[in-house]
Amino acid sequence: MNKIIAFFLLLSFGFVQGQQLNCTVTVNAQKMGNPNQQIYKTLETSLNEFVNKTDWTGQAFKQQEKINCSMYITLMSHSSDQFTATIQVQSSRPVFNSSYETPVLNINDKDFSFTYAEFENLTFNANTFQSNLVSVVSFYSYVILGADRDTFEFKGGDENFQIAQTIATVAQQSSYRGWSQLDGNQNRYFLINDLLSPTYSEIRKTVYDYHQGLDVMTDNLKSAKEKVKTAILGLNKLYNSKPNAYLTRVFFDAKSDEITSVFTGGPNITITDLVDNLNKISPINSSKWASLKF
């Protein structure tokens, strides 16, 4: 009896949670004629409740185990129940034995339009297209979950990515942009298909190895920097076959500032080859690589 009571006390105090994300959803309506309309606040509240209260995986996460993330929605136009917007998705995870949070995702999706009626119920079903609002937010929730798992285990995010792919496949029946390969080469379609394609497995190996390097920084900083460097150099193989890979951009959009920080302080290691490769693989960040100390 005491064990049963203890179990229910544990639940009541919130130590065991069905939800997996600790997400801040922001709706920026400054571009609207009347940014203080109640519907924008209702939309923001509804999305926060939807993302944070949905049980995405069926796994019990303690509060401190939830994935820290954000979705920043900028409304571009609004007429009746029709909205056009952009959505920026970011996530991070803690580095072992430190207070530092390393960025994992930083994706800016500009193909985001949807319908929404105030106080509309937002419910998720991976096999049914209910609204583009639900589909896009659910899709990125699973991408966040999968990307987080990939930092702890090579291809550990497969199960979550597969659900995201199901959402994308079902959403292709709609007329909304971003779900089809015809909508450009850097959208939700290519993001999830590339993540699950063996062709791009090298970048997922880089993601795993990179974070394993970060996780031992408090043990041996010089050795950890070497591990991070080796992980980044692993992108050469992908670059040689797919020099303009979308996933390479996704990686550096999240990691470029951190890479600069890692290799501009602490014990010195040889990084001439690293800088050469960074300039080749991610020339858009050349100004950051110029600050790296040899």
What residues does each domain of the chain span?
Answer: 16-196, 224-289
Contacts of 66 (CB under 8 A, 6+ apart): 17, 19, 20, 21, 22
pTM across the whole model: 0.92
Contacts of 205 (CB under 8 A, 6+ apart): 154, 231, 234
DSSP H helical segments within the chain, as ranges?
2-12, 38-53, 132-150, 158-171, 188-196, 201-214, 221-233, 235-241, 246-262, 272-281, 286-289
Q: What is the pLDDT of residue 7?
A: 35
Q: What is the pLDDT of residue 62?
A: 87
Answer yes or no: is pLDDT of 8 > 50: no
pLDDT tens-digit map of 187-242: 999 999 999 999 999 999 999 999 999 999 999 999 999 999 999 999 999 999 99
- Which sign does the torsion angle of CA 205, 251, 243, 187 carry? positive
Q: Which helix (H) or strand (E) holds 71?
A: strand 67-79
Calpha distance 239→254 (Å, rounded): 18
pLDDT tens-digit map of 79-133: 999 999 999 999 999 999 999 999 999 999 999 999 999 999 999 999 999 999 9
Other Cβ atoms within 10 Å of 259 Cβ, number: 23
Q: What is the pLDDT of residue 33?
A: 86
pLDDT tens-digit map of 239-266: 999 999 999 999 999 999 999 999 998 8
